[in-house]
C-alpha cells in the first residue's frame, strides 16, 4: 500500500484526489492547503480524507511514501524536500501533471476504446480494461511527443516533463523506437 499526501488543493490536487481515492493500492493520508475553502479541501472532506493547513503535521504523524506537491510554489517544494523523511519521495507538479495527462484528464483526448481493448464492462473486467486504457494513453502520448520532436528523445522528455531515463523506460515498456519518428534524409 502506497501512503500518499497531496499538497495543494486547487484543480490539480482535486483531480489527484479523484484519481487516487478509489485505488486499492493507495492510502490517501491527507490533503494540505492553506486555503480551507479550496476545492480540493472540500472534496477531501466529502471523501472522508483528513485535511490540514500545514504539511508538517502529516510528515511527523507517521510513515509517508509519496508527497505530491501541486502548489506550484518552489519554496514549498524545497521545504518538503528538506523536511521529508529519508524514505519519502516528493513528486513535483510537472510529474503530477504528466501523470494526470497520461491518465486521461481533459488535456489529452481520451480514446473511446483503444484498438484491441474490450469495453470496460466486457469479459476482462474493469481493472484489466483500465490497465489497457492507461497503456493506450501512454503510447499515444509518447508517440505524440516523438512526432513533435522528430524522434529526439531529450527534447521529447523535456516536453513530457520527465527525465530522459524515464522516457527511455516508457519507450522500452511500449516497444516504441524513436528512430521511426526521425525525419527522412
The three-point CA angle 161-166-167 to 5° equals 70
Q: In the chain, where are the structural domains located?
A: 2-102, 125-181
> What pLDDT, on the 0 to 100 scale, is given for residue 112?
39
Placement of cell 504539511 in the chain? 55
Beta bridge partners of 28: 4
Cα 118 to chain centroid distance, Å, stands at: 24
- Look up residue 1 and give its DSSP letter: -
Instruction: Yes or no: say if 9 and 40 are a contact pair by the CB < 8 Å rule.
Output: yes
Dist CA 99 CA 92 (whole Å): 11
Q: What is the pLDDT of residues 101-151, one digit of tens each?
A: 776 654 333 333 444 444 444 455 666 666 777 777 788 888 888 988 999
Over 90: is that where the pLDDT of 44 sits?
yes
For the domain made up of 2-102, give the CATH fold.
Rossmann fold (3.40.50)
Over 60: is that where the pLDDT of 59 sits?
yes
The least confident of 23-27, 72-76, 135-139 is 135-139
> What pLDDT, on the 0 to 100 scale, is given for residue 9?
92
> What pLDDT, on the 0 to 100 scale, is given for residue 96?
79
Compute φ and ψ for 153, nearest 5 degrees.
-65, -40
The whole model's pTM is what?
0.56
Section 30-50 average pLDDT = 93
Amino acid at each position: 500500500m502506497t501512503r500518499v499526501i497531496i499538497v495543494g488543493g486547487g484543480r490539480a490536487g482535486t483531480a489527484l484526489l479523484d484519481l487516487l481515492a478509489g485505488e486499492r493500492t493507495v492510502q490517501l493520508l491527507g490533503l494540505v492547503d492553506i486555503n480551507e475553502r479550496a476545492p480540493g479541501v472540500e472534496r477531501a472532506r466529502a471523501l472522508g480524507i483528513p485535511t490540514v493547513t500545514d504539511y508538517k503535521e502529516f510528515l511527523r504523524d507517521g510513515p509517508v511514501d509519496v508527497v505530491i506537491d501541486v502548489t506550484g510554489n518552489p519554496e514549498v517544494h524545497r521545504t518538503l524536500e528538506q523536511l521529508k523523511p529519508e524514505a519519502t519521495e516528493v513528486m513535483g507538479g510537472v510529474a503530477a501533471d504528466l501523470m494526470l495527462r497520461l491518465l486521461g484528464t481533459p488535456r489529452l483526448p481520451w480514446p473511446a476504446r483503444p484498438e484491441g481493448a474490450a469495453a470496460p464492462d466486457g469479459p476482462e473486467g474493469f481493472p484489466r480494461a483500465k490497465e489497457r486504457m492507461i497503456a493506450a494513453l501512454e503510447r499515444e502520448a509518447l508517440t505524440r511527443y516523438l512526432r513533435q520532436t522528430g524522434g529526439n528523445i531529450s527534447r521529447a522528455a523535456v516536453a513530457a516533463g520527465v527525465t530522459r531515463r524515464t522516457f527511455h523506460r516508457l519507450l522500452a515498456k511500449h516497444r516504441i523506437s524513436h528512430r521511426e519518428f526521425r525525419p527522412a534524409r
